[in-house]
């Protein structure tokens, strides 16, 4: 997947608008819009954008891409799986004492 759509998807995932990047990283909406439109930003700009989107830039060896993608899929499944929190009126010792 190309970088620009990933940046947009992450921004939307965080509930941000392009203009919000001004407060997060000091980049005005027009500058950020060029990055998201697939412009050719400098590495320093990409690092700044990554920080503003709470992400990391990484170089992954081609022979490891499949493993990294699988790990990310696995992590997203476990990260977002609903966990039943105990109710305050539930007795945590009920199964021990019965």
> What does the pLDDT look like over 31-56, one tens digit per residue?
999 999 998 999 999 999 999 999 99
CB-based contacts of 82, cutoff 8 Å, min separation 6: none
> What does the pLDDT look like over 52-96, one tens digit per residue?
999 999 999 999 999 998 998 887 666 544 545 545 555 555 556
The SS3 assignment for 33 reads helix
CB-based contacts of 8, cutoff 8 Å, min separation 6: 36
User: Which residue in this structure is represented by tokens 């696995």?
Assistant: 74
Residue from 13, 72, 10 nearest 36 by CA: 10
Domain spans, the chain:
3-79
Helix (H) or strand (E) holding 67: helix 65-79
Phi, psi of 56 (to 5 degrees): -125, 140
Taking the C-alpha atoms of 10, 53, 16 and 38 in order, what is their torsion angle to the nearest 10 degrees? -60
Class of domain 3-79: mainly alpha
């Amino acid at each position: 997947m190309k970088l620009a759509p990933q940046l947009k998807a992450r921004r939307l995932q965080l509930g941000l608008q392009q203009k919000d990047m001004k407060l997060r990283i000091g980049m005005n909406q027009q500058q950020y819009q060029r990055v998201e439109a697939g412009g050719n930003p400098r590495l320093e700009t990409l690092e700044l954008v990554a920080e503003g989107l709470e992400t990391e830039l990484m170089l992954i060896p081609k022979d490891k891409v499949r493993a990294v993608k699988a790990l990310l899929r696995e992590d997203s499944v476990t990260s977002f799986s609903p966990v039943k929190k105990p109710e305050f009126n539930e007795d945590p010792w009920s199964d021990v004492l019965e």
